[in-house]
């Protein structure tokens, strides 16, 4: 969350700004908790296209205009 000093990826920062919890993303996307944690905190990690698609589909319920480029360096 805000000001915890944790390293966050673009996805992690987006979730923080929207007030959306990682656990909410786990439930909505059906992606494992470990993968969601890694994709939100490990700036060197690039998820598979399947994981990206699951995450984007679930996040578009909140923000229909969100694109993969907004969350990952492709």
Q: How confident is the model at residue 73 (pLDDT cuts 50, 70, 90)?
A: confident
Structural domain count of the chain: 1
Q: Which two tokens stand for residue 55?
A: 């995450």
Domain assignment of residue 44, yes or no = yes
Q: Which residue has the tokens 């998820």?
A: 47
Mind listing the pLDDT tens digit for each residue in 8-63?
Answer: 999 999 999 999 999 999 999 999 999 999 999 999 999 999 999 999 999 999 99
Q: Locate tokens 């890694």: which residue?
A: 38
Q: Is residue 28 domain-resident?
A: yes
pLDDT reading at 66 higher than 60: yes
Measure the CA–CA gap between 18 and 21, rounded to whole angstroms: 9
Model confidence at 74: pLDDT above 80:
no
Q: What CATH number did the domain enclosing 56 receive?
A: 1.10.260
Position 53 scores a pLDDT of: 96
Integer Cα distance of 29 and 4 in angstroms: 25
Decide if 4 is inside a domain: no
- Single pTM value for the model: 0.86
Q: Is residue 5 part of a domain?
A: no
Mean pLDDT of the chain: 91
């Amino acid at each position: 969350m805000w000001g915890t000093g944790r390293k966050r990826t673009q996805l992690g920062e987006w979730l923080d700004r929207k007030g959306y919890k990682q656990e909410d993303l786990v439930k909505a996307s059906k992606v494992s908790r470990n993968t969601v944690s890694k994709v939100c905190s490990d700036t060197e990690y690039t998820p598979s296209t399947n994981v990206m698609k699951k995450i984007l589909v679930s996040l578009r319920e909140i923000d229909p205009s969100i694109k993969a480029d907004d969350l990952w360096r492709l």
